[in-house]
Amino acid sequence: MFYKYKIKKLGGSKWIILMLLANGEKTGAELMKEIEKLSFGFWRPSPGTIYPTLYKLIKEGYIVRLENGKYALSEKGKNEVKGFEPITAESFTIDHTLEILESYVYYLKDLDKQEIAKRRDKIKEIAKSLEAIAE
């Protein structure tokens, strides 16, 4: 619950950047690559997303830009992420992945039946792949 509050308060992109910077200083390009890696290639934020967000985080006092061009958490940023485990590729366990899959199933159940029907073949293909994994 507290985690959801933090994301709402800061916004998803800002929170992800803070959590990644908790692992150490990074350039904007390194942050983009790290987010792409953590999302298994599903999301690679553009410079038009990352750099304005970094600027806002600097302006709000959560991060600083270092002389070497990298970004790091300020004291305010460190306090914001205190108590949370830094996000790493190892954060995404099989159990975590299954929770995400299950949440997407609930999402799909909520969608309009006609929209789902248009994608029935793809859904069956994915279900078949999951079934093969489970055997």
Domain ranges of the chain: 2-88, 94-134
Amino acid at 81: V
Task: Give me the phi and psi of 111, to 5 degrees please.
Answer: -75, 160
pLDDT digits (tens, 9 = 90+) for 15-38: 889 989 998 999 999 999 998 888
pTM of the model: 0.60
CATH topology of domain 2-88: Arc Repressor Mutant, subunit A (1.10.10)
DSSP string, 40-59: TTS----HHHHHHHHHHHHH
pLDDT digits (tens, 9 = 90+) for 72-115: 999 999 998 887 765 666 666 777 778 878 888 888 888 888 88
